[in-house]
């Protein structure tokens, strides 16, 4: 508090009150300017389907949203908005999905020889009127004069009544000889892997496709409805001499009612088979549980996995019960047990707190 000086003798009471009021206001202003912001004053990053990349000393997040939402950070805790990849939408979007609403789904980003490839999904919710496209840039820094996303168009497309798979949720992984493969898929006939050509923008010829994860569905069950085949969001992470396939099971995007959770398998070859700890093929319903929700975080999933400065991280979103099921960014330490299976401490869900600064 500011010390209050006595008014000179003879001042009228009204003037004295006015002086006291001014002093009080100055005190409040001074306190507001000098007091540190309380912990938690900045909201956590609310994000769906996050993937991450680093250029120089800056980390970038790409996520589902209008035009693909982008954030950047120096420390993976404090984040700033960094615009979007598309000012409007891809020119071809509505020709693939007439019900497309402007939200580009589930991106993935990878760097190749100083060029960044950003893959993304166009779809209508619950349908396989979908396509995966790719846009490229020479930098991730929006302040650089070289910053410009250039759309390369459709990589693959799924068509109802023709394809029993859904062209969303792309992830790019490199095989032993540097060949690029794209994992993708949601519900329907499971998760797929397709070999890309040297441009990384089209399937290789002759085409090579593999089913890497699926689950049996009872006869006559609509393929887009909830049920045993609730799996999506593949991410393949190369480590320890294996390719680890992370998948999201359950239902996303339902706030407190979300049942999202992660499972994993691994293979010696990028094309599989991906087996769980019991030796069951993920293409036959296998998958070792990795991390699931709890009362505070009822659902979590759609992850990426990364190595930075010798440490491995799992990046995902989780729905917070205390915030009406709002999705939040989580970056968790990824460890390995004696048999080289991934381990994640669920206590990190409570300890990791991002901050959105602007």
Q: Which residues are catalytic?
A: 49, 232
Question: Residue 317 in contact with residue 332, Cβ under 8 Å?
Answer: no
Residue 162's region, left for phi above 0, alpha for psi from -120 to 50, else beta, is: alpha
Question: Residue 47 in contact with residue 61, Cβ under 8 Å?
Answer: yes
Residue 219: CB partners within 8 Å, gap ≥ 6? Answer: none
The CA distance from 193 to 243, in Å, is: 13
Query: In the 8-state DSSP scheme, what is residue 203?
Result: B
Q: Give the residue among 224, 227, 213 at the shortest CA–CA distance from 163.
A: 224
Tokens of 229: 């085949």
DSSP string, 88-102: S--TTHHHH-TT--S
Tokens of 275: 């087996």
The CA distance from 175 to 171, in Å, is: 13
Place of tokens 């049942």: 259
Question: Residue 55 in contact with residue 144, Cβ under 8 Å?
Answer: no
Question: Residue 261 in contact with residue 248, Cβ under 8 Å?
Answer: yes
Burial of 54 (0-12, 13-18, 19+ CB in 10 A): middle
Place of tokens 């975080």: 297
Q: Give the residue among 252, 227, 332 at the shortest CA–CA distance from 290.
A: 332
Q: What number of other Cβ atoms are within 10 A of residue 199's Cβ? A: 12
* H-state helical runs in the chain: 13-34, 93-96, 348-351
Measure CA of the first residue to CA of the last residue in the chain; give whole Å: 31
């Amino acid at each position: 508090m500011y010390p209050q000086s006595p008014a000179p003798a003879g001042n009228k009471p009204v003037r004295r009150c006015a002086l006291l009021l001014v002093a009080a206001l100055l005190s409040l202003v001074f306190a507001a300017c000098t007091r540190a912001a309380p912990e938690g004053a900045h909201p956590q990053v609310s994000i769906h389907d996050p993937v991450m990349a680093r250029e120089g000393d800056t980390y970038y997040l790409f996520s589902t949203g209008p035009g693909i939402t982008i954030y950047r950070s120096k420390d993976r805790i404090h984040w700033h908005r960094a615009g979007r990849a598309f000012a409007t939408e891809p020119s071809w979007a509505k020709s693939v999905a007439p019900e497309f609403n402007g939200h580009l789904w589930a991106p993935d980003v990878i760097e190749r020889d100083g060029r960044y490839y950003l893959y993304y999904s166009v779809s209508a919710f619950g349908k396989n009127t979908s396509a995966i496209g790719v846009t490229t840039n020479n930098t991730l820094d929006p302040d650089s004069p070289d910053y410009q996303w250039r759309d390369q168009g459709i990589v693959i497309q799924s068509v109802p009544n023709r394809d029993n798979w859904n062209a969303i949720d792309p992830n790019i992984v490199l095989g032993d000889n540097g060949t690029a493969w794209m994992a993708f898929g949601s519900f329907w006939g499971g998760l797929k892997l397709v070999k890309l050509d040297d441009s990384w923008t089209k399937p290789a010829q002759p085409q090579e496709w593999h089913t890497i994860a699926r689950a049996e569905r009872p006869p006559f069950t609509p393929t887009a409805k909830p049920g045993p085949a609730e799996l999506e969001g593949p991410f393949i992470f190369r480590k320890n001499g294996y390719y680890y396939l992370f998948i999201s099971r359950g239902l996303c995007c339902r706030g407190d009612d979300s049942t999202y959770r992660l499972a994993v398998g691994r293979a010696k070859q990028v094309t599989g088979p991906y087996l769980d700890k019991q030796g069951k093929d993920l293409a036959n319903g296998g998958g070792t549980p990795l991390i699931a929700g709890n009362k505070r975080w009822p659902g979590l999933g759609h992850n990426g996995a990364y190595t930075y400065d010798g440490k491995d991280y799992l990046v995902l979103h989780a729905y917070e019960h205390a915030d009406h099921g709002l999705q939040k960014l989580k970056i968790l330490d990824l460890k390995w047990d004696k048999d080289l299976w991934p381990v994640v401490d669920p206590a990190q869900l409570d300890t990791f707190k991002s901050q959105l600064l602007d």
